[in-house]
Structure 1
Amino acid sequence: MSIQVLVVDDSAVVRQVLSGLLNAAPGIQVTHAVADPLLAMERMRMHWPDVVLLDIEMPRMDGLTFLRKIMSERPLPVVICSSLTADSTQLSVEALSAGAVAVVNRPRVNIREYMASHADELIAAIRMAAGAQAQSPAEERIPRRLALTTPPPLAPPPAKLTADAILPPCDGGVVPPSEPLVAIGTSTGGTQALERVLAALPPDAPGIVVVQHMPEKFTGAFAARLDSICAISVKEAESNDRVQAGVALIAPGGKHMLVRRSGATYYVDVIDGPLVNRHRPSVDVLFRSVAKSAGANALGIIMTGMGDDGAAGLLEMRKAGARTVAQDEKSCVVYGMPKEAVKLGAVDKSVPLDAIEREIVAQCARLV
């Protein structure tokens, strides 16, 4: 059966262009293309789509309001395609946090030419969304500070490199310092999942390092959003940042992040390097560095996402004595990365998303 898509955009030209590109792709059919969310709701009552392709700036109801309405009432995969997200990474992060599976940017002018040259990205996002398990976002929380008002585009698949290109395998000779460390890797669906986990943590949670697959410039806005709603501090990582209790460091988009140990203290290095498992930052690169630097003092967590990035690195963490946890299939938007880690024998236990916070707190209690 074909993937049934509902296009919602107030521009007749955009609706025509997007419908033409998608209908020309094997296995995809645009069932309706409408000008605003109210018309979309009428069509959805008659025919429920597999994926909604949604603009943000529209009359009668904006796209973010409609997205939140869908996710609160009957979640389904939504891909944002908007010129506004091209101008605002903050808006893109807000859409992903509200439940969008992916954001595909488009310009305000030269729509036909641009979308024709980026058709593969759009089609890949629709196919990926059709296989995702849409979920309601976390309940609104009172922000610790004023809140700010992602799969990011899919990278083309170059020759696959492993984390050996960045860091040699762990030799098992780790003499860890005393403080616990938590390393988290995630991709598609991870913006929502991380928000739920990090916002549930107490202010004295152990130091956390995170790779979320995101493009450059997204991760700063994402970290700022998390910082505004969490009891812990959250920031985009910079080289020589200390990994410490009550702080989560997010790897910058377009850079790898590694953990190193100096005496009894952990620091991060943010570096350039080749794509690893088609990603930069790569979860494997982070996990392998944690295996070398922290050994049994670490907890590795692999969460929702496509592909296999992180599976091999998590196995190295487990072999170095770390505890390893995977998000379970039922609570994942995409059960790809956790599934590959489980298949590889890298996972001690699989738990629902809402139980991950307890695993982090337990890790701190176990080692302190």
Structure 2
Amino acid sequence: MPIKVLVVDDSALIRSLLSEIINQEDDLVLIGTAPDAYVAKDLVNRYSPDVITLDIEMPKVDGLVFLEKLMKARPTPVVMISTLTEQGADATLRALELGAVDFIAKPKLGVAEGIEQYRQLIVQKIRTAAKANVKRIRQSTPRLAASVNLSGTEKIIAVGASTGGTEAIKEFLMGLPANSPAVVITQHMPPGFTTSYAKRLDGLCRLNVVEAKGGERILPGNAYLAPGNFHLEIEKSGADYKTRLSAGELVSGHKPSVDVMFKSLVDCAAKNTIAVIMTGMGKDGAEGMLLLHQQGAVTFAQDEESCVVFGMPKEAIKLGGVDIVLSLEKLSGAVIECLEAHYVSSRL
């Protein structure tokens, strides 16, 4: 069955471009376009689209208001169309919080090569969204650990995620105590969005969350997020660990790449690492997690039921690199229990 797609955007040019892209694919069918939320509502009720592309900035009713009502009344996979600005990034993160599956920046029109890359990316995101596990928004209270009974600076929690990961990582971090071992994070996001995402996490979590700059000493109570378009690696520096940023090629189809981060830990900190792989399309992180597992790291994966897309965890499990598979709500507590059980003799 073809994937039924509804395009909602106030720009006639963007509607035309997205319509042309969708109509070129045999497995996608355009059921309609809407310039505003009112037309979109009618089309949703009439045709029950499998995926909606939704502009954030629209007249009358903006995309966030429409999305919130949609996810309460008729949960549907949504790919947000966002502007590459700080305001656009903040709105996009709010959209993901409300239940959008993914987002893509508005295309730069007039550049043939850029449009072709955009075509490939939007088609991939629509196909991924069609398979996503979309649930009614739940208001969950994270199970907070008061503290972790662990001293030392050398333990590291490494987290990798992609589609659906912004909310999964947020819930995971909100379950960690202020004195948690350091957390290093790779989430597939473009430049600019990671800056806003780190600030958002920092305001919600008891950990200090920053976008990694490179060269930081990795310390307990802190989380370091890979910036868009840079790989985050961890290296040994005397008795300490430090962050390192690399602007190399795409790895496993991504930059930042979870595999790059995990493999850097294999070289310097495998036995001191707890690795967590979360929701996401593809297999980035699976090979790195297997290597960590083989070198003595404890490895966790998010389970299928709680994933938006059970791609990355599935691949890691298939390779045999995962020790424990748990629902998202149980991950942070289990990681803390693991730290206390395995690493009670940590040095200062």
Same-fold status (TM-score > 0.5) = yes
Does the 8 Å contact 2:85/2:192 carry over to 1? no
Contact persistence 2:153–2:220 (CA under 8 A): no
The match for 2:56 is 56
**What's the counterpart of residue 10 of structure 1?**
10
Mapped partners of 2:299, 2:290: distance in 1: 8
1:119 aligns with 2:105: no
User: CA separation of 1:360/1:275 partners in 2, compared to 1, >3 Å: closer, same or farther?
Assistant: same
The answer on 1:310 being equivalent to 2:299 is: no
The answer to whether the 8 Å contact 1:138/1:192 transfers is no
Which residue number in structure 2 is paired with residue 208 of structure 1?
183
Closer, same or farther: CA 319–56 of 1 in aligned 2, 3 Å: same
1:129 is aligned to 129
SS at 2:313 equivalent: helix
Farther off after superposition, 91-100 or 33-42: 91-100
1:276 corresponds to which residue?
A: 251
Q: Which moved more, 1:231-240 or 1:290-299?
A: 290-299
**Measured at CA, do residues 38 and 141 of structure 1 come closer, stay the same or move farther in structure 2, by a change above 3 Å?**
farther
Residue 186 and residue 59 in structure 1: after superposition, are their counterparts in 2 closer, same or farther (change >3 A)?
A: same
Secondary structure, in 3 states, of the residue corresponding to 2:5?
A: strand
Q: Distance in 2 between matches of 1:220 and 1:84?
A: 12
| Unpaired segments ≥5 residues, structure 1 | 143-176
Q: How many percent of aligned residue pairs carry the same amino acid? A: 42
Task: Give the letter aligned to residue 357 of structure 1.
Answer: S
Contact 1:52–1:77 under 8 Å retained in 2: yes
Q: CA RMSD in A?
A: 2.7
What is the CA distance between 1:24 and its match in structure 2? 2.7
Q: Give, in whole Å, the separation in 1 of the partners of 2:307 and 2:64.
A: 22
Q: Deviations over 1:199-236 (max 9, x none)?
A: 22221222100111112222111111111111111101
Q: Secondary structure at the match of 1:128?
A: helix
2:155 aligned to 158, 180, 195, which one?
Answer: 180
- Distance in 1, Cα, partners of 2:16 & 2:26: 18
Is residue 2:204 matched to residue 1:234?
Answer: no
CA-CA distance at 1:294 after TM superposition: 2.1
Equivalent-residue separation in structure 2 for 1:15 and 1:254 (angstroms): 28
Deviation per residue, 1:98-125 (Å, 9 max, x gap) = 3322322226976999757732322222
Aligned to 1:288: 263
Is 1:365 matched up with 2:345?
Answer: no
Structure 1 residue 85: deviation in Å?
A: 5.8
The correspondence of residues 119-158 of structure 1 with structure 2, limited to 5 A, is 119-136=119-136, 139=139
3-state secondary structure, aligned to 1:242? coil
Distance 2:175 2:168 in 1: 11
Asked if the contact 1:76–1:133 (Cα under 8 Å) also holds between the matched residues in 2, the reply is no
SS in 1 for 2:242: strand
Q: What's the CA shift for 1:347?
A: 0.4
The residue type equivalent to 1:53 in the other structure is T
- SS of equivalent to 1:308: coil
Q: Which moved more, 1:274-283 or 1:90-99?
A: 90-99
Structure 2 counterpart of 1:248, from 220, 223, 230: 223
Q: CA–CA distance in 2 between the matches of 1:109 and 1:51?
A: 23
Partners of 1:114 and 1:182 lie apart in 2 by 37
Contact between 1:237 and 1:252, CA under 8 Å: does it hold in 2? yes
Given that residues 162 and 281 in structure 2 are in contact (C-alpha distance below 8 angstroms), is that contact kept between their aligned partners in structure 1?
A: yes
Match of 2:273 in 1: 298
Tell me: CA distance 1:33–1:187, structure 2 relative to 1, closer, same or farther (3 Å).
same
Residues 346, 64 of structure 1: alpha-carbon distance in 2 compared, 3 angstrom cutoff: same
Q: Counterparts of 2:230 and 2:125 in 1: how far apart (Å)?
A: 23
Amino acid at match of 2:203: S
What secondary structure, in the 3-state scheme, does the structure 2 residue paired with 1:317 have? Answer: helix
Give 1:159's aligned residue: none
In the other structure, the counterpart of 1:328 is 303
Give the whole-Å Cα distance in 1 for the aligned partners of 2:138 and 2:238.
39
Distance verdict in 2 for CA 1:255–1:138, change over 3 Å: farther
Number of residues paired by the alignment? 334
TM-score, length-normalised on structure 1?
Answer: 0.82
Q: Match for residue 171 of structure 1? A: none
Scaled by the length of structure 2, what TM-score is found? 0.86
- Helix, strand or coil at the partner of 1:25: coil
Residues 261 and 359 from structure 1, CA distance in 2 versus in 1: closer, same or farther, beyond 3 angstroms?
A: farther
| AA partner of residue 104 (structure 2) | V
Residue number in structure 1 paired with 2:146: none
Distance 1:190 1:93 in 2: 11
User: Does structure 2 retain, via aligned residues, the 8 Å contact 1:21–1:116?
Assistant: no
